[in-house]
Structure 1
Amino acid sequence: MAGARREPSRDLTIQEMAQRSGFSEPTLRYYEKIGLLGEVARDESSGHRRYTPATVERIEALSCLRSAGMTVSGMRRYVDLLAQGDSAAVEQRDLFASQAQKLAADIEQLQLRLTYLRRKADLWDARVRGDLEAEQQAVEAVVRVMDQFMLKD
């Protein structure tokens, strides 16, 4: 199956899980402590954590949610709803739709910040070239972007 994630052929250590997920080892321990991961298996001889394929899959889902800006409380809600199965489909849909709206608003703000930086670069480029007309146009463009920041507040 093209594009599918390769499942680990064995349980992963905490170091391997941290590398694979992007979460730090303390974050993985914290997520386990607050119940986001369910029960994490332990090596019988050493007591070290061993992440099974099912736990790896859950952590990868949480990593995606976290990278999309979901809070820990949102991830808790997701895990709680998962436990309810299909009967929580409406709540799952609403959780993801709400997070998508938040992310869209964040992207809009980032686009505005990007535009601001580009207009400021244009301004300084005009100064470097000694182009007074281009500098004035850049100043006006910066002011327009700054006005948009003020409208967002």
Structure 2
Amino acid sequence: MTKKLTNPKISKNKEKLTNIEETSLKSKLTAEKEIRPSISLRFFDDKFSGFSDLNKSELKSWDKFIKDVNKSDSWDDVFNKYFRGINSDPKSLDKVKRLNIYSDQIEIIHLGLTQKFRIHGANLNGRFKLIWLDPNHKIHKMS
């Protein structure tokens, strides 16, 4: 069973990836106002898998995902289609710490582009910060 999403707690002093508490999948990633979904590559780690590692089918899935994000008015639209879970297990958190990402607490959001292809990231100010491309679902399989 995976955790469900809630509004994030955003620090006004420092940019950080924040803890997302449990409530409902249909809640927003933004606490105060609706922000159109967007994706950032600021924390992207291409040492596991980069865009050049994707095959033609995976690139088409990525392209479809980006188009869906761009035409969506809310994260609810995106999550209803792609959300696979959240995890904050020590193994995943250790991987994030090695990237020198500042965080008090972090939960990794898993989005499934296909049955096998996952992307992993976290929320920051309503923006999905892509951390890993996982075309073969090898980083962490959700139970």
Q: TM-score, normalised by structure 2?
A: 0.24
Q: TM-score, normalised by structure 1?
A: 0.23
Bigger relative contact order, structure 1 or 2 (CA pairs below 8 A, ≥6 apart): 2
